[in-house]
Amino acid sequence: MPLKGHVPTAHKTYWLEHAWLGTHVEPGVALDVADDGHIAAVRTEAATPPPGAEVLRGLTVPGLANAHSHAFHRALRGTVQVGSGTFWTWRDFMYKVAQNLTPDSYFALARAVYAEMALAGITAVGEFHYVHHAPGGAPYADPNAMGEALIEAAAEAGIRITLLDTAYLAAGFGQAPSTHQLRFSDTTADAWAERVSALKPREHALIGAAIHSVRAVPAGQLATVAAWAAQRRAPLHVHLSEQTAENDACLAAHGRTPAQLLADHGVLGPRTTGVHNTHLTDADIALLGSTTTGTCMCPTTERDLADGIGPAVRLQRAGSPLSLGSDSHAVIDLLEEARAMELNERLSSRTRGHWTANALLTAATEDGHAALGWSQAGRLEAGALADFTTIALDSVRTAGPLPRLGAETAVFAASAADVRHTVVGGRHIVRDGAHTLVPDVPSALAATIAALRS
């Protein structure tokens, strides 16, 4: 299924005033897009726009990949900042919002959230989706109604989605789901696999799998989820060691860390991404690195929930590829996630320069897309998907540095507010800072969030 309303584009050319090509910023680049939505050619030394080309002024980079999202958490922004509390008190409020979701209201909210992502330069999202059933746990007439709503919402917002359909079966080690969690649970991993097998990929959508956490999927059922993903060569994501309480409970129940438990049941590997990976032992880090299991860092959520700073430098050095996500959507800004990963490490270590700007942009683009199964995205080169975004170099945040320092400017100075254009499959989704498919994104967000409070 093509992107909503999509008509295959005729061959067209974009002229990029400045383009980040993975290692450096190149001035004057003509980017030809074939009518199948892939890049046909990248021509450098194009000092002036070719006749008929669409002009993108600023710094164009590959589309950003938001590798970890819970779309309905966007309704929590601001509200959960009142007072204090812990991750666990935040979770209680999250459950209340989840209880009010229906397929229709989730579609409307997700459409607005994904449109906000497009405005932030995000061209693909990994939706870690676990609100499957009606309140009380009864399946909808279409057991995948909620997942289908998210897939359609991404289409209407004009971005790609990897639906990471999530197994969430228990409240904790040896604990049945709570009342709030009943709508998350398929009761067994086999039942989860049967339901998710009915979901089909589309042009803009891939189907992946997720294990919510080791506390939410009994150890004896982890292998079922891993096997489902392996048979389809699909991405598999898992919340891993987000809080120390999870580690303590896992050690008490199984005598090993969550990472070791996942390894014992065949979950780790190059198509698997651990989300957060915050509280790891030295052995855990070596295990994730040796299996090339990825790490998705979500710094703005991790700091919002006071979860801690994960060992991202050590994980990457051990062999774990890094990606980035906005998770609970305290903000939706992948440039801020990239910046925060470096700045958090500086605060923790009291040294600077753990990643170059190029490396941080790679985590936000190519490596993020790879974690979501979009191996053809994340690069400005012939044959890649024509997904890219343009960041202003003349805003109050970005004016001043030389254009050749565009990568540093984007990562360490720019914000989502500086995104001027977003193109997905050669199609302009955001033009001059305005969404072309969702005419008033702020109003759509306000209306859909207000409806969940009523």
10 exposure class (CB count in 10 Å sphere: 0-12, 13-18, 19+): exposed
Neighbour tally for 312: CB within 10 Å:
23
Distance CA 229, CA 210 (A): 9
Q: Which residue, among 173, 90, 97, has the nearest Cα to 135 in the 3D structure?
A: 97
List Cβ neighbours of 192 (8 Å cut-off, separation of 6 or more).
165, 167, 169, 186, 224, 225
Calculate the alpha carbon distances from 290 to 184, 284, 295 in Å.
32, 10, 13
Query: Are the beta carbons of 220 and 173 closer than 8 angstroms?
Result: no
383 exposure class (CB count in 10 Å sphere: 0-12, 13-18, 19+): exposed
Q: Which of 18, 204, 276, 369 is catalytic?
A: 276
* Phi-psi domain of 310 (left: phi exceeds 0; alpha: psi -120 through 50; beta: other): beta
Range 186-222 burial, b when 16+ CB lie within 10 A, else e: beebebbbebbeebebbebbbbbbbbbbbbbbbbebb
Query: Are the beta carbons of 146 and 102 closer than 8 angstroms?
Result: no
Do strands 122-129 and 160-167 pair parallel, antiparallel, or not at all (unpaired)? parallel
- Residue 428 falls in the annotated catalytic set: no
- Residue 276 falls in the annotated catalytic set: yes
List Cβ neighbours of 396 (8 Å cut-off, separation of 6 or more).
none
Query: Are the beta carbons of 110 and 75 closer than 8 angstroms?
Result: no
Query: Are the beta carbons of 383 and 374 closer than 8 angstroms?
Result: no
Task: Look up residue 448 and give its two tokens.
Answer: 């859909």
Distance CA 149, CA 154 (A): 9
Distance CA 249, CA 190 (A): 25
Q: Which residue, among 44, 71, 36, has the nearest Cα to 376 in the 3D structure?
A: 36
Distance CA 390, CA 162 (A): 23
Neighbour tally for 7: CB within 10 Å:
9
Q: Which of 284, 304, 307, 327 is catalytic?
A: 327
Would you name the residues annotated as active-site residues? 276, 327
